[in-house]
Amino acid sequence: MSYSSIDPNSKSTIPAPIIEPNDPNFQQKFNQESFQFTHQLAGHPLFEIPRLVELANLVVAKGGRQKVHSSDGNVLVHQKWSDMPFKERFEEALAQIDESGSLIVIKSIQLDPEYDALLDRIVSELTMLTGINLHQEITWLEGYIFVSSPQTITPYHLDHESNFLLQIQGEEDVNLFDQRDRSVLTEQEIEHYFVGDLQAATYRQENQNKASVYHLVPGLAVHHPARAPHWLKNGDRTSVALSINFCMRSYDLEARVYQVNHYLRKLGLNPTPPGKSPLQDSLKQAFLGIFSKHKPDNKTDVVFSGIDRLKAPLKNIKL
Ligand SMILES: [Fe+2]
């Protein structure tokens, strides 16, 4: 493994390359199915707890308290994020992570230049590996660091974003479900998600045997396709994982189709899912495009600004 510093002022070096594409079908599987690969960030100093405390304080100072999610991680797989008691004092929860029973998510890590450079490097490598110019296709990029106490659970949910999850420290089981399987994830759940119910995906025990389970150890990583439902269970040690999340133009457009479909279904229709009729898709996308912010300020704007602007007058119609 070689090391190179990408920022002359950086206090730490970044391995080159970071991602090792040991799956020969990396490009074909991207955003279609989950897959495992290896990376070179295990044990990197940017992920040591004192450095993460410094990072958490910086993102809160620059972006506000909501940039660090800190909650009790003693929940069950079928529960929702809203069931997880919030911990106001994230500094203590993080500094004592081995014992605090916490699940902490440091968001927008790119607010710190060292992590921003790291993300930029990873996106460049992913552009090569996926064959897609992600610097152009990505509409919103965000790096998260998940720090979780032993035995904690991240409940079942889906995300609009495409994701690469790199295990840095500790071990965890990542349960990933096929986003294309409608016996796992229904059209209605996806539509509800895209009109603002971020907890719309419902865990069904009878579907657990359909999960692909990845046992991540330091140096291993897994790709989550956009909208692939997932839940995670930490091992016996504190887990630290880097999550590269991004919205892509093509999936933002599909989200608009689901948003329109939600209201068509409320009108008693049986709407056509995205991908089945290019004409219908483009009409729905163009319609919501009229309302969408053309210069989004955040990820919520990217996905929801069109439907949110439309929802206000629709509330009076009582659909
Ligand atoms: Fe997630």
pLDDT in tens, 156-184: 999 999 999 999 999 999 999 999 999 99
Q: How far is the CA of 159 from the centre of ligand 1 (A)?
A: 6
Answer whether residue 286 shows pLDDT above 70. yes
Expressed in angstroms and rounded, the spacing between residue 227 Cα and the centre of ligand 1 is 9
Mean predicted confidence (pLDDT) in 144-151: 96
Look at residue 69 and give its three-state secondary structure. strand
Residues 89 and 177 occupy one common structural domain: yes
**pLDDT band at 11; cut points 50, 70, 90:** low
CA of 267 from ligand 1 middle (Å) equals: 31
Residue among 95, 10, 99 nearest 48 (CA): 95
Over residues 82-98, the pLDDT tens digits come to 777 777 788 888 988 99
Distance 1 CA to ligand 1 centre (A): 30
Q: What is the pLDDT of residue 10?
A: 54
Cα–Cα distance list, 17 to 126, 129, 245 (Å) = 11, 12, 19
Helix H or strand E encompassing 134: helix 134-137
CA of 135 to the centre of ligand 1 (A): 22
Same domain (yes/no): 234, 272: no
Q: How far is the CA of 283 from the centre of ligand 1 (A)?
A: 30
Using an 8 Å Cβ cutoff, are 176 and 34 in contact?
A: yes
Q: How far is the CA of 317 from the centre of ligand 1 (A)?
A: 34
2 Cα to the center of ligand 1, angstroms: 31
Rounded distance, CA 168 to CA 184, Å? 30
- The CATH number given to whatever domain includes residue 18 is 2.60.120.650
The pLDDT, as a whole number, for residue 78 is: 83
Residues 16 and 151 both lie in one domain: yes
What SS3 class is residue 88?
Answer: coil
Ligand 1 midpoint to CA 140 (Å): 16
- CA 231 to ligand 1 centroid distance, Å: 8
- Range of 293's domain? 250-317
CA dist list (Å): 57 to 88, 242, 311: 13, 17, 36
Q: How far is the CA of 302 from the centre of ligand 1 (A)?
A: 18
- Tens of pLDDT, residue by residue over 34-72, are 999 999 999 999 999 999 999 999 999 999 999 999 888
- Last residue within a domain, chosen from 247, 279, 301: 247
Please give the mean pLDDT across all residues of the chain. Answer: 91
State which of 225, 247, 269 marks the end of a domain: 247
Do 241 and 275 sit in the same domain of this protein?
Answer: no
Residue type, 275: G
How many domains, the chain? 2
Distance from Cα 192 to the centre of ligand 1, integer Å: 17
Residue finishing a domain among 222, 247, 272: 247
**Rounded (10°) CA dihedral 135, 138, 140, 143:** -70
| Adjacency order of strands within the sheet including 162-169 | 19-20, 35-39, 220-224, 162-169, 239-248, 138-148, 102-106, 68-72
Distance 165 CA to ligand 1 centre (A): 10
Share of the chain above pLDDT 90, in %: 74
Check the CA dihedral 191-316-296-63 and report its sign: negative
Question: Are 171 and 216 part of one and the same domain?
Answer: yes
Question: 110 C-alpha vs ligand 1 centroid, how far in Å?
Answer: 18
Do 291 and 259 share a structural domain? yes
Q: How far apart are CA 230 and CA 203, in angstroms?
A: 9
Q: How far apart are CA 138 and CA 123, in angstroms?
A: 10
